[in-house]
Each structure stands twice: as structure tokens, then as C-alpha cells.
Chains A and B, each alone.
Chain A
Amino acid sequence: MKKHFFLFIPLLTIAVICSAQPSIYKTTEGRITFKSEAPLEVIMASSTKLEGAIGNEGLTFAFIVPILSFNGFNNGLQRQHFYENYLEASKYPEASFTGKIIEFVDFTKPGTYVIRAKGQLNIHGRSKERILKIELTSNGTVINAKTQFMVPLMDHQIEVPKIVNQKIAQEISVTVRATLSLTNKS
């Protein structure tokens, strides 16, 4: 699980080294929730194991969440299907979103920013480029981030048998709330 995380930390570090004022915001709290609204059933699950970081200078970011950390669901069998059949958690243990921020924003200045994060959304081992709108509120040292977006199952080759179409939506709504704190690294 930590494997990917270690990959992007050096990446950020490089970006940070290149910049004059190295500042990285790292998650202290992260919650990701998904919701499938099908005609016959609504499924919700969430994880608090969201980890990530935003580099202020290079405007790069990386977020990652272990698939097995999701809790909720309507029953245990559903949870098992989610892990084993749909997301194949043993093969693809985490989901990630890494990339850069389009808008030039200085998070060290307090304020609320709506930014667009462009990057590779990796779920089920399949990457898809996404541009996601994120609302950020910064007080200089702590950023509260929230976003909501849709994930079409097709984009990530998550195959759901037609028979359960009435129970699982083809597009899953994902909500993310995270708090990131400034950690000056040298």
C-alpha cells in the first residue's frame, strides 16, 4: 500500500527542491466517500485512510487510498463483491489521483480557491485523465479541500454484470474531504 506513496513523495521532493520556498501540505485527515445510486439500491462506503500531499510551488499533488479501507456497504457480501469482483483489491490494492493544479494559486495566502486538478485517476489499475474541480480553503498553514466527482465504471474497466445493473449505478459519485497541513521540509 505504501509502495505508490513512496513513489510520489520523491517526486514532490524534487519539485520542492527546485523551488525557492519549499512548502508541502500533507493530509492530516482525509475522508473519501462513494455512492452508487441505482434504481433498486443505494450503496455507500467511505474510507478515512486517504493520504496525500500538495506542493505549493510546483502545484503538483498526489492522493492515494487503500481499497480495503472502505467501510459501509449494505451487507458483508456486498463488501466482499466490491473487494474481490469489481475492484480486484488483491491485484490493485489502491486507488490514486496524481497530477498538477491548473490555476496558479499561492496556498500560503489565506483564502478560498476553486481550482482544477488535472491528473491521472487510477482505479482498478486503469488510469484515466481527469480534470476535477476542487474547493480549497486555506488559512496559510492548513488547507481544507473538498470535491465531488463522478466515476463512470467504463473508464476503469470495472465490469458489473448486466443482471445487477438495477442495483449498481454505471456512474459512481465520489466525495472527498481532506485537511492538509503545511510541513516545511528541507
Chain B
Amino acid sequence: MKWILIAVGLTMACTAGGQSYYFRQMPLDFDGDIQKIGILFQGNDQMIWLGTDQGLYSFDGKNYWKNARPDGTPHEVTAIAEQADGEIWTGFDDGLIIVISVTGNNRVITADSLKGTSISKILFQRDGDVFIATYGKGIWRISNNKLHRLTYESLRHTDDVYDAMLDDKDRIWLATDRGIWIYEKKPKENLRHLGREEGLADEIVTSLLAEKNGDVWIGLYDHGTGRYVVDKDTIIPVMAVEPGDERVVSLVKGQSDEIWIATERNIGKYKINQPGHGIQLPPEMSKRIDDLLFDMTGNLWIASGNKLYMANTQLDHRVPDVTGIQAITALNDKLWLGCESGLYSMNQEGGDLIQHLQQEQLNIISLYADQSGILWIGTFGQGLYIYDPSKSQVRHLTEKENLSNNSILNIDGKSNKLWLATLGGISEVNWNTDPFKDKLTVIDFQEKFNFPAGYVYDVYAGEDDKIWFGTDGKGLYYLEHNQLYSYTHPVALAGQDSFELKTIYSITTDENKNLWISSTKGNILNLDLKGNLLGHLSSAHGSLNSLVTTGKNEIVLVREGAIQIKNPAYGVFSFSSSTGLSSFSPNLNAVCRDNDGSIWIADTDNILHYVPSQTDTARYVHMHLVDISPGTFHQHRSIRLRPDSNFLDLRFTGLWYPDPSRVQYRYMLEGHDQDWIYTHEGRAVYSKLSPGTYIFKVAGSYNDDFSQSRPYQREIIVLPPFYFTWWFILACILIGAFLVRLFLRSRIQQVNKLHQLEKEKTTLQLHAIQAQVNPHFLFNSFNTLSSIIEEDQKSAVAYVDQLSGFFRGVLMHREAELITLEEEILIMRNYTYILEKRYGNNIRIIEKISNLEGYIAPLGIQLLVENAIKHNKVSNEKPLNIHIDIDHDYVVVSNQIQRKIQGMTDSTGFGLSSLLTRYRYLTSAKIEILNDGNTFTVKIPIIHLNT
């Protein structure tokens, strides 16, 4: 039971004046079905994921989107995890796991062996293995796409895994009903148990959280929290709750190494080696806490039933049991409050107030704690009190001791000197070593420097040797090397031509020793010592700004209704009514800085505490593209639009959870827009974009300053219509070229053909002439003629007439393509006459042409007859009969075959083939050649031109 002694009860959360945050309920108008948000998760892209009893939702602070399961059924989300590549794995109470991928290729992991079991945790080991912890069926591993259960005899009774985690050595820790099991795969498979023997206060472990140094925070069912200390290999209790139904539901890590512990009804905060303390929760939240999340911007999220709450943990507050607080200072880890009713002290975390110097009945308006732990108390009309709380010593100074005025608005000091800003000028107090024993020297600046008497609002002892004084209407002064100077540099403000540095309410300096002063009309000026204006802020609402520096690069501005932080890296961000800061009405300069650099601000009945920003805080608006219409939603690829879709609707959102309503956007479609377009609506619409490549850029800001924003950009390609696409043009060129080629080829062929025809014709003509002027023919003809002349002169004359008629026919028609059948027969008859005269009865040409209609190739029949004589024996014994008939549309020339002895012919083999060629060009009808062994027949088609 040793642990009880060092445990700090979470019941402290109920103490009056405890630490609280400005929780806001997030706008989730879930329909009635959702009763519980069980899991809160933030992805690396800063999006918040909500695991509800009806499914998975993502949330940007303003809107939420449902991520429906493929089967469409509502199921409770029991685990959410993110893999290194941004995939979101979601486990459900029925054993299903869906993986939401940034590429849009979502998938489902389902196994019969997991069906019906609730998935309690999904873990990704460095080597790629996935561990799936279930509530009901133990722990499973996906390795090489195979799912199998870790079966160990000792794990037999640990079917219910409440939580699981991976440590820095890639070991799996399991929180079960039987303590903690640690599974190690490498170097050697090993299973280890942590239980009562190791100091675990409870067998039922509900949550685990790894610490940087290897320690592990352990949330228990009945006994609060423990910590496994790796160096001692034991578990020590850290924060215990009253045993009861108050199990730890969540352990999360805060921004500055603190641990947040959520039980079913309370939230506590614990920093190592410091006592933990509870957080005061608004009553609507304290009935039930389902999960906690600490996001990357430093906001604490609380899921309670179907409600979601959020608070920026940089600003907390506590309500002490006193009102009329007018001054504050921090000393010895305690807060000192100067009130209308006197001096009070309290612990920083809250708790009971202790009143001091009660008998003096002080109305305190300023407080200052010096380095030796002495409080300097400025009152309204009662002069200055010096108070040492450790020794309960008091000393009192008034106008009698030469104070400029008994009403002291502000005090600041340095070593053994102190300056007072009063309603009647400035006083300096000097002492030697002990302000209670030594003589106190009080110098009135009116006496010493002829400083004009009047209201002095602020005194500020800067880091260098200058002491600054801000007066009402008389400007800014500084004391350096015991000399008082007036800061008389003129300041020119843009848009305010008549601005003069007359009234100064508050003064501070930054790290670069540059001045920050608050003046009238809400002007905050950043000036260097030479009077150059470095920066200017203007607060439209309220002019009485108190300024204080955190000493960590931030200037804090406090005024009615708002606290603004000027950070050199992020710009200005604000706490105001939209972040839950309502009815905030602080006194001027009722601010102080403690040793940690955090700022304490006194409101009339409320103490606010600002913790400076951590340097690694993601303090910018993280842009997300939510939807594109038309087009498919793909996180990484460029958007491609068809040319006929002349409408582009882009929805985007900027994640800035501290104050979502303040987010402003600017966007630009490079290649279309000339300049940024500013909007509060997360939407850009374009119509009728001409084909081309554009870049859509969008940035968000929470303070109108886009210089620190990180724009999101995405390429948008509007595809050209098909008749402008390179492939279409190329295809056209190719087809065109092909057609031209085809045309040329056919033309060439045609020309070649004509040429060929011409050649054939010429050859035939030549041949015909050759044939006819064949010396053999002439010789025979003249021989015949000479024999006739002697016998019969009359027939000799007729023979010569026939011979010349034949030659005339040949000469006349040799160049014609066609001649009439009649003309051909005429030539043929001449020829027949000549042949009959020569061969006598040895040759018989039987011509039976009745119908002379139609055309024929010139000298065709003559050629066939000539051929017949050429190839066959013509003798007395065997006269050669040549028949010339008409058969339908053919001229038929036939003869019986009586072959000459081989070698006797002088055939060139030319005649018939040239006729065949010629006919090919003349008509589609073919010359038919028939040879049955006895008779040789050639059929020449008659050509009818009119048909």
C-alpha cells in the first residue's frame, strides 16, 4: 500500500479554483443515431477522425464527412490507426477493418476468424507486419498477407486486449485482464509478463502510452495510473483514483512532456517529477469521458457521448474565491493577487486562497516581486507596502516619505532600485541591502528632473539599462545612467497622419531590445530606439492594451475581450469570444510573467494563464482538398478534365482547430486568374476553361496574414477536344499520307498500264506490218502473181487489187483500237483471196459471217488465219480447212490440227499472245482458246460499244 502515499488523488479535480480550460463544444449536429464518439484520432495531415458507434467520420472543425463502410451497415469504430504512407486503418466491433487510402483505393480486410470480434488496436511494426489486437480473441499478426493468431499457453486467458502499443524496440505491449504482456519477435521470439510482482496495482490494464525514455504509462481499471520504469524494471504508481468504477479510458501526451489521463469522469494532468492535478471540467462533460486527443496545434479534444469538446491548452484559467482582482504577480511558484479587498496568494494549479496583511485593509492596484522574494505592493491612495511573506515583515511608504503620489499604478525594479508609476508622477526608491532595515531613499522625478507631474501608466525596466515610463498625454520617457530622456521621435503611421506619441498605456521590449508600446486608439507600435517604426498593430476593439513579453519571442497583448499573441514566426493569433473567452475585462497592466516565461493575466474574478508556443507546434492552416466536381478525387495526382466538362467546382478546407471560424482563404488558378481571390467559403468555381494546364493554389490564414501560410497546390489539366489531340492529328496525317500514296500508286499503275497498252499496240501494229511485209509473204505473193500473169491477166489484175486492198486495210486500221466487224471481214476477204490464189484448193477458208454488227480488234481474224497456216501443214493430200463463224457474241476461228514438223516454223509465238493482251484492255470478255487435239478453236468476243 506504499503507492497510496505518493499518489495524488484525481478527486482534486473538484477543488474550487482548479485549473480549467476554455472548452468549446464543436459543431457536430449528428443525427439521433450516434450515441457515442469512442475514438478520437488525428492523421498526419492534421485531419481529425471520429470513430463513432455508427461508423467513421472525418472532421475539420466546421464540417464532418461520413466514411461509409462498403457494406453500408452502421458499426461501432473501435480502432483507428495510420500507416506511414497515410493509409487510415479503421477497425470495427464486428471484426472488419477498412483501409482508407490517399489514392482513393480503399480496401477491406476481413477474415472469418476475426468475425464478430471487436478490433481494439491496430499496430504497424517497422518491418511491415501488422498486429491486430481484439477484444475477445487475443492478438493477431498479418505477416506476408497471412493472418494468424499468437497462440501461447500463457496467453490462454487473455482473450480481451484493452489496448496495445509498440515500444521503441518494436515490441508489442498488450493491456489485458491479466496484466501486461510484452511480445518480442526479434532477436528471439519471447513473451514476458508484467503483473503484481512487478508492482502493477491492478490486473486489469486498460491503456498504455510509451514515454520517450522507454518508460511506459499504464492506465488501470480500478487503481488509476502506473508507470513502468525501464531503469528499475518495476512499475510505480503515479496517480491513483479512489477505487471504484473509475477506470482509465485514455492516456495521451501533451505538448510539453505532460501526460493527460482521462478516467470515465475526470481528466488529470501529470508532469514527470511534479505532482499531478485534475482539470476542472464543465459539468456537461464530467458525466462521461470516452476519449482524449491532443492534436498537433496543442488543442485538447474530449469525446463525451456524442458531443465533442475542444480547448486550446495554451490558455487555461482558474476562478479563485475572490473578486475585484486588480494586480497579479508570481513568486515562489505561487500567484499573488492584489485585490480591492487586499492581498491573496494561491497555488498556480488552483486551490485555497490565503489572505495576507488582512488588518491593513488594502486596495491593491499594482504588485511587484523582486528577486529576493520581497513583494512591493502599490495601493490606491494608501501608498506603497513592502512585504516579505517568508518573514512576515511589512514596511509602509507614503507621500510623507516623499512618494510622488499615494496611488501607485505600476511598479518595476532592478537590483536595489525600484520605480513607481503613480497618479502624480514617478518616484524612485533606493536601498542598500535590506529594504526593511536600511534607510529607503525616495526620489521624486518632478524634483530631480522637473518631470511633469501627472498620470504615469506604466514603468518598465528593460533588459538593457533603460527604464521606460509611459505617461498620460506627455509622451514616453526613459531613464539611462541616471538621466531622464524624452523619446521624442516622430512616428508616422500609415493612414493616421496626425498620430503623436502622447499617451502610453503599456511598454515592453522584445529579444532584439526593440520597443513595443501601446498607445491611444488601439495602436500597438513596434519601434527601435531611433524611432523607426518596425511594426504596427491596430486593435479595432478596445484601446487599453497591456503588453508583456514571454521572453520567448512572443509579445502578448491583453485588452478587453481578447488576448492576442504576436509571434515572429506565425504572426498574430487571438483568443477571443470565438475561442470561448467571453466577458473578459482585465485591468490595465494586470499581467505578469513567471520564471517559465508563461504569462498570468488577472481578470476581475478570473486568473488566466498563457503558455508560450512550442517551436515545433504546427501553427499554420493546413489545407485540404475535400471534393472536386467533376473529376475523381485523388489526393496526389493532377486533375484531368474532359473538354466538354466546362465547369469545375473545387471544395477545400483549412484546418485550424483553435478557431475554425477565423479561417480565410485565398486561391488562384495559375494560367487563368491574374491574382489571388480571397474568400471565407471553402469553394472555388470555374467555368469554360480552355484546354491547357493550370495550377490551382489555395492557402489559408487565421490572421489575414498569408505570408506564413503553406499553400496547397494541384495541377489541373483541361484536356483538348479530340480533334486537337496529338494522336488525332497524327492519325489524320497518316491516313492522308496513306490515301495520297494509294492514289499515286493507282495512278502510276494506270499510267503504266496505258503505257503497256500503247507498247502492246505498237508492237502488234509493228508485227502486223512485219507480218504483212514479211518478205516470205511478199515473195509468195509475187510468185503467185507471176504465175497468174502468164495464165490469166484478168485474174492477175484482180489479185493485185486484192493485195493492195489488203495492204490498204492494214495501213488504214493498224492504229485504230477497234474496227467494225464489217471492215475486218473485208480485209479478211482480201486476204482469203490472196491465200486461195497461192494455195489453190489446198486451203479452204469457210466464212459464215451473217451478222456484221459490232467491233473487233483490227487484223485479229487475219492474225488467227495466218497463225493457222503457219502452224499447220497445207498440202494437196491434206487441205487445211479454216472456219470463220459467229457464235453468239464471238467470232469463232477454227481449223483441224495437222502439225508441221518441228523446227519448220518461224513462229515468234507473238501473234496470239499480243492479241490476248490487247483484248484484256478492250473488254472484260475473254478470248477463249480451245484445243481438243483435233480442232484448234479461238473465240474472239465482239465488242458492242453502245452497251
Q: How far is the CA of A13 from the CA of B274 in the complex (A)?
A: 52
A35: chain B residues at CB < 8 Å are none
- CB of B60 within 8 A of chain A? no
- CB of A116 within 8 A of chain B? yes
- CB of A131 within 8 A of chain B? yes
Max count, chain A CB within 10 A of own CB: residue among B160, B177, B178, B222: B177
Interface residues of B in 158-185 (CB under 8 A from A): 160, 177-178
B157 (CB) vs chain A CBs: closest residue: A100
Q: How far is the CA of A103 from the CA of B204 in the complex (A)?
A: 9
A116: chain B residues at CB < 8 Å are 203-204, 222
Are A103 and B203 in contact, CB atoms less than 8 angstroms apart?
yes
Q: How far is the CA of A100 from the CA of B136 in the complex (A)?
A: 13
- CB of B221 within 8 A of chain A? yes
- CB of A118 within 8 A of chain B? yes
Q: How far is the CA of A59 from the CA of B221 in the complex (A)?
A: 19
A59: chain B residues at CB < 8 Å are 157
- CB of A164 within 8 A of chain B? no
Q: How far is the CA of A59 from the CA of B160 in the complex (A)?
A: 15
Q: How far is the CA of A100 from the CA of B178 in the complex (A)?
A: 11
Q: How far is the CA of A102 from the CA of B203 in the complex (A)?
A: 7
Q: Closest Cβ of chain B: how far from A41's Cβ, in Å?
A: 26
A131-B157 contact in complex given A103-B203, A118-B177, C-beta closer than 8 Å:
no
B222: chain A residues at CB < 8 Å are 116
A131-B203 contact in complex given A102-B177, A118-B177, C-beta closer than 8 Å:
no
Q: How far is the CA of A118 from the CA of B203 in the complex (A)?
A: 12
B203: chain A residues at CB < 8 Å are 102-103, 116
- In the complex, how many residues of chain A place their beta carbon closer than 8 angstroms to a beta carbon of chain B? 7
B221: chain A residues at CB < 8 Å are 131
Interface residues of B in 279-337 (CB under 8 A from A): none
Q: Flag B140-159 by CB within 8 Å of A: 1 or 0 each.
A: 00000000000000000100
Q: Flag A90-105 by CB within 8 Å of B: 1 or 0 each.
A: 0000000000101100
Q: Flag B190-207 by CB within 8 Å of A: 1 or 0 each.
A: 000000000000011000
Q: How far is the CA of A78 from the CA of B152 in the complex (A)?
A: 52
Q: Flag A74-115 by CB within 8 Å of B: 1 or 0 each.
A: 000000000000000000000000001011000000000000
Interface residues of A in 98-157 (CB under 8 A from B): 100, 102-103, 116, 118, 131
B245 (CB) vs chain A CBs: closest residue: A131
A59 (CB) vs chain B CBs: closest residue: B157
Q: Closest Cβ of chain A: how far from B205's Cβ, in Å?
A: 11
Q: How far is the CA of A100 from the CA of B222 in the complex (A)?
A: 17
Q: Closest Cβ of chain A: how far from B263's Cβ, in Å?
A: 15
Q: How far is the CA of A182 from the CA of B944 in the complex (A)?
A: 128
- In the complex, how many residues of chain B place their beta carbon closer than 8 angstroms to a beta carbon of chain A? 8
Q: How far is the CA of A131 from the CA of B222 in the complex (A)?
A: 11
Q: How far is the CA of A118 from the CA of B222 in the complex (A)?
A: 13
Q: How far is the CA of A131 from the CA of B204 in the complex (A)?
A: 10
B135 (CB) vs chain A CBs: closest residue: A129
Q: Closest Cβ of chain B: how far from A106's Cβ, in Å?
A: 15
A118: chain B residues at CB < 8 Å are 160, 177, 204
B177: chain A residues at CB < 8 Å are 100, 102, 118
Q: Closest Cβ of chain B: how far from A130's Cβ, in Å?
A: 10
Q: How far is the CA of A160 from the CA of B222 in the complex (A)?
A: 32
A100: chain B residues at CB < 8 Å are 157, 177
Q: How far is the CA of A116 from the CA of B221 in the complex (A)?
A: 11
A150 (CB) vs chain B CBs: closest residue: B245
Q: Flag A162-186 by CB within 8 Å of B: 1 or 0 each.
A: 0000000000000000000000000
A102: chain B residues at CB < 8 Å are 177-178, 203-204
Q: Closest Cβ of chain B: how far from A159's Cβ, in Å?
A: 16
B178: chain A residues at CB < 8 Å are 102
A131: chain B residues at CB < 8 Å are 204, 221
Q: Closest Cβ of chain B: how far from A55's Cβ, in Å?
A: 12
Q: How far is the CA of A103 from the CA of B160 in the complex (A)?
A: 15
Q: Closest Cβ of chain A: how far from B103's Cβ, in Å?
A: 38
A60 (CB) vs chain B CBs: closest residue: B157
Q: How far is the CA of A131 from the CA of B206 in the complex (A)?
A: 13
Q: How far is the CA of A116 from the CA of B223 in the complex (A)?
A: 13
Q: Closest Cβ of chain A: how far from B265's Cβ, in Å?
A: 15
B204: chain A residues at CB < 8 Å are 102, 116, 118, 131
Q: How far is the CA of A178 from the CA of B157 in the complex (A)?
A: 26
Q: Closest Cβ of chain B: how far from A17's Cβ, in Å?
A: 15
Q: How far is the CA of A106 from the CA of B178 in the complex (A)?
A: 16
Q: How far is the CA of A78 from the CA of B501 in the complex (A)?
A: 84
Q: How far is the CA of A116 from the CA of B222 in the complex (A)?
A: 10
Q: How far is the CA of A116 from the CA of B178 in the complex (A)?
A: 12
Q: How far is the CA of A102 from the CA of B222 in the complex (A)?
A: 12
Q: Closest Cβ of chain A: how far from B472's Cβ, in Å?
A: 63
A58 (CB) vs chain B CBs: closest residue: B157
Q: How far is the CA of A131 from the CA of B160 in the complex (A)?
A: 13
Q: How far is the CA of A103 from the CA of B222 in the complex (A)?
A: 13
Q: Closest Cβ of chain B: how far from A174's Cβ, in Å?
A: 15
B221 (CB) vs chain A CBs: closest residue: A131
Q: Closest Cβ of chain B: how far from A56's Cβ, in Å?
A: 14
Q: How far is the CA of A103 from the CA of B178 in the complex (A)?
A: 8
Q: Flag A45-66 by CB within 8 Å of B: 1 or 0 each.
A: 0000000000000010000000
B160 (CB) vs chain A CBs: closest residue: A118
A149 (CB) vs chain B CBs: closest residue: B245
Q: How far is the CA of A59 from the CA of B222 in the complex (A)?
A: 20
Q: How far is the CA of A130 from the CA of B160 in the complex (A)?
A: 13
A103: chain B residues at CB < 8 Å are 203
B160: chain A residues at CB < 8 Å are 118
Q: How far is the CA of A103 from the CA of B201 in the complex (A)?
A: 12
Max count, chain B CB within 10 A of own CB: residue among A59, A100, A102, A118: A102
Q: Closest Cβ of chain B: how far from A33's Cβ, in Å?
A: 21
Q: Closest Cβ of chain A: how far from B137's Cβ, in Å?
A: 15
Q: Closest Cβ of chain B: how far from A113's Cβ, in Å?
A: 13
Q: Closest Cβ of chain B: how far from A156's Cβ, in Å?
A: 16
Q: Closest Cβ of chain A: how far from B393's Cβ, in Å?
A: 55
Q: How far is the CA of A97 from the CA of B770 in the complex (A)?
A: 129
Interface residues of B in 487-538 (CB under 8 A from A): none
Q: How far is the CA of A59 from the CA of B177 in the complex (A)?
A: 13
Q: How far is the CA of A109 from the CA of B177 in the complex (A)?
A: 23
Q: Closest Cβ of chain A: how far from B431's Cβ, in Å?
A: 65
Q: Flag B217-233 by CB within 8 Å of A: 1 or 0 each.
A: 00001100000000000
Q: Closest Cβ of chain A: how far from B283's Cβ, in Å?
A: 19
B136 (CB) vs chain A CBs: closest residue: A129
Q: Closest Cβ of chain A: how far from B247's Cβ, in Å?
A: 9
Q: Closest Cβ of chain B: how far from A82's Cβ, in Å?
A: 27
Q: Closest Cβ of chain B: how far from A64's Cβ, in Å?
A: 22
Q: How far is the CA of A116 from the CA of B160 in the complex (A)?
A: 15
Q: How far is the CA of A100 from the CA of B204 in the complex (A)?
A: 13
Q: Closest Cβ of chain A: how far from B944's Cβ, in Å?
A: 104
The 4 closest A-B pairs by CB, nearest first: A102-B203, A102-B177, A102-B204, A118-B177
16 contacts between A and B (CB under 8 A): A59-B157, A100-B157, A100-B177, A102-B177, A102-B178, A102-B203, A102-B204, A103-B203, A116-B203, A116-B204, A116-B222, A118-B160, A118-B177, A118-B204, A131-B204, A131-B221
Extra inter-chain contacts (4) besides given A102-B204, A118-B160, CB under 8 Å: A102-B178, A102-B203, A103-B203, A118-B177
